């Protein structure tokens, strides 16, 4: 053990005893930005809902101050009028299982939807989804873009949407690019904003906000970027000059104490993409990759800004809940890894913000670890509707009272039998083959020191392991798309 590892472990152990109770019934929360600390009661009624998903959006936003080069003024504008959750986690670090879980309220181990090659619909069709729930309760349901997986890929099933804006996908051309495989590529696009399907989707949604609605509405808008490929107009790259780009902090031996399955996921993405980080670093393109992600995130932010401005100029400004979420996080070199497809902090931590009309305790960042399974029950409670069948917990108490206790961990799943628990200051990872990781974010925010084998943390590990599911559905073996029943 080198001196750095020894000192970090000694410090972590010295303070672990002081907060072990945080893994029993409540978490310790620190409000980083708060406008008022009093309790606020939310009026529960049929608010309109603007439901925005931004694909592959991690936490690199301006208001969270998680990356010095982040330029997201419109998401930050929402943060000033709402609550942003610093430690919000996806139920799965992959688009398809994450969205299947979020949109139905049922976790991967309940549906059998664990990865991207499965037909998600065959695993969730027996459950009432968020749009179906609100349609049954009298809402007019409109949607466009990637909300369920593959957004425009036919998800106009009767009962899901009353109106759906289908704009397909467009493979853009780049002025110049760095390419490392079929999908991991970046560079300025030939096309301008208006030519992107995402722009057209937002325009379609803006038209709906300009219309008169006699019923409360649910308007879902799925923005595909910053999903790969990172090709957007030059002006978004110009927001992030390459000479100013800061790459994530890493250490050379980061994977030395990681179990075999974690090492495999760091270097091998579903037996398709191999050693992304090694190739990018060897080519001297790490800064360019980070720039590409930041530029594409700024593009997505600009689209959201158009949507937010349209709402503010509409009759619905003061009676609409705004909820914005990413479906999971994204690695850009942390743990020697790129993309998602892992159970560490960067692949699971995502942006999550909500604005509720009349809520006093807004313009704040809440530090409570939660997962996005909170979305479905929270929206139901805020709109005064009966509690749906779901596996999450409403976060209304956290919205109404910044100091409310929260005894529910954030749980993440990737492939059958592999789970992570984020509770209090800890992240615990359990792999199907028995491998384990344990990190204390107070002393180790980058998850460099795996404490799982340290016997002094046995009680902490046992408490976190007790949150894991005892029953897990078999993985769905149906791999075709046929959600229209043909």
> Contact at 8 Å (CB) between 434 and 440?
no
Q: What is the pTM of this model?
A: 0.91
Average pLDDT over residues 319-334: 98
Phi/psi zone of residue 281: left (φ > 0), alpha (ψ -120 to 50 degrees), beta? alpha
Average pLDDT over residues 281-306: 98
Average model confidence (pLDDT) across the chain? 89
> Contact at 8 Å (CB) between 357 and 382?
no
Show Cβ contacts of residue 253 under 8 Å, excluding neighbours closer than 6 positions.
Answer: none
Q: CA–CA distance from 178 to each of 70, 170, 181, 185, 333 (Å)?
A: 21, 19, 10, 5, 16
The CA distance from 142 to 165, in Å, is 8
Per DSSP, the three-state class of 222 is strand
Instruction: Please tell me the predicted confidence (pLDDT) of residue 39.
Output: 65
Does 94 have pLDDT greater than 60? yes
Helix (H) or strand (E) holding 278: helix 276-282
pLDDT grade for 479, boundaries at 50, 70 and 90: low
Share of the chain above pLDDT 90, in %: 77
Q: Which of 52-56, 120-124, 138-142, 318-322 has the lowest mean pLDDT?
A: 120-124
Helix (H) or strand (E) holding 429: strand 426-430
**In the block, residue with structure tokens 């079929």:** 182
Domain locations along the chain: 30-257+273-415
Instruction: Please tell me the predicted confidence (pLDDT) of residue 175.
Output: 87
30-257+273-415 belongs to which CATH class?
A: alpha beta
Average pLDDT over residues 370-392: 94
Instruction: Please tell me the predicted confidence (pLDDT) of residue 288.
Output: 98
Instruction: Please tell me the predicted confidence (pLDDT) of residue 66.
Output: 97
Q: Of 90, 79, 71, nearest to 412 (Cα)?
A: 90
Active site amino acids: 95, 149
**In the block, residue with structure tokens 């704040």:** 364
Q: CA–CA distance from 456 to each of 73, 167, 227, 257, 451 (Å)?
A: 44, 55, 41, 17, 9
Per-residue model confidence as pLDDT tens digits over 427-454: 999 999 999 999 999 999 999 999 999 9
Handedness of CA 304, 305, 306, 309 (dihedral sign): positive
Does 455 have pLDDT greater than 50? yes
Show Cβ contacts of residue 60 under 8 Å, excluding neighbours closer than 6 positions.
Answer: 66, 67, 70, 72, 293, 294, 297
Per-residue model confidence as pLDDT tens digits over 29-83: 333 233 334 566 899 999 999 999 999 999 999 999 999 999 999 999 999 999 9
Average pLDDT over residues 364-385: 97
Which contacts of 203-206 are long-range, i.e. CB under 8 A and separated by 24 or more positions? 203/306, 204/144, 204/165, 204/167, 205/142, 205/144, 205/165, 205/307, 205/310, 206/306, 206/307, 206/310
Instruction: Please tell me the predicted confidence (pLDDT) of residue 181.
Output: 84
The CA distance from 20 to 457, in Å, is 10
Q: Which of 111-120, 374-383, 394-403 has the lowest mean pLDDT?
A: 111-120
Greater model confidence, 358 or 478: 358
> Contact at 8 Å (CB) between 197 and 167?
yes
Q: Of 328, 374, 384, nearest to 354 (Cα)?
A: 374
Average pLDDT over residues 207-224: 97
The CA distance from 266 to 208, in Å, is 43
């Amino acid at each position: 053990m080198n001196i750095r590892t020894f000192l970090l472990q000694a410090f972590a152990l010295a303070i672990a005893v002081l907060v072990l109770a945080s893994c029993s019934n409540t978490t310790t929360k620190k409000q980083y930005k708060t406008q008022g600390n009093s309790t606020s009661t939310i009026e529960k009624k049929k608010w309109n809902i603007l439901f925005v998903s931004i694909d592959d959006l991690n936490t690199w936003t301006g208001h969270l101050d998680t990356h010095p080069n982040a330029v997201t003024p419109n998401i930050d504008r929402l943060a000033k009028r709402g609550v942003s959750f610093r430690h919000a986690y996806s139920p799965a670090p992959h688009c398809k299982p994450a969205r299947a879980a979020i949109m139905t309220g049922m976790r991967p181990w309940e549906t059998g939807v664990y990865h991207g090659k499965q037909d998600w619909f065959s695993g969730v069709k027996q459950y009432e989804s968020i749009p179906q729930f609100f349609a049954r309760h009298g809402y007019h349901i409109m949607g466009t873009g990637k909300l369920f997986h593959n957004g425009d890929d036919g998800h106009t099933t009767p009962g899901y949407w009353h109106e759906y804006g289908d704009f397909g996908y467009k493979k853009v051309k780049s002025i110049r690019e760095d390419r490392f495989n079929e999908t991991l590529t970046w560079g300025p696009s030939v096309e301008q904003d208006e030519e992107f399907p995402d722009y057209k989707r937002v325009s379609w949604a803006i038209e709906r906000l300009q219309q008169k609605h006699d019923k409360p509405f649910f308007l879902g808008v799925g923005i595909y970027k910053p999903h790969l490929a990172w090709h957007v107009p030059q002006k978004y790259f110009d927001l992030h000059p390459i000479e100013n780009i800061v790459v994530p902090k890493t250490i050379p031996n980061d994977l030395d104490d990681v179990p075999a399955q974690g090492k495999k996921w760091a270097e091998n993405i579903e037996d398709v993409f191999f050693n992304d980080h090694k190739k990018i670093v060897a080519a001297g393109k790490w800064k360019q990759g980070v720039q590409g992600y930041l530029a594409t995130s700024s593009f997505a932010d600009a689209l959201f800004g158009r949507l937010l401005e349209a709402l503010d100029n509409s009759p619905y400004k003061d009676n609409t809940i705004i909820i914005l979420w990413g479906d999971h996080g994204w690695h850009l070199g942390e743990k020697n890894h790129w993309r998602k497809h892992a159970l560490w902090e960067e692949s699971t931590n995502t942006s999550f913000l909500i604005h509720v009309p009349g809520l006093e305790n807004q313009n704040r960042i809440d530090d409570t670890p939660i997962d996005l399974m909170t979305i479905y029950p929270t929206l139901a409670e805020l709109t005064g509707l009966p509690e749906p069948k779901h596996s999450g917990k409403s976060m209304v108490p956290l919205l109404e009272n910044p100091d409310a206790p929260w005894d529910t961990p954030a749980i993440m799943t990737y492939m059958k039998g592999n789970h992570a628990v984020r509770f209090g200051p800890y992240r615990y990872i359990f792999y199907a083959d028995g491998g384990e990781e344990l990190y204390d974010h107070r002393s180790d925010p980058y998850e460099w020191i795996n404490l799982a084998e340290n016997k002094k943390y046995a009680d902490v590990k046992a408490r976190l392991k007790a949150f894991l599911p005892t029953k897990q559905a078999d993985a769905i073996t149906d791999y075709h798309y046929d959600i229209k029943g043909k």
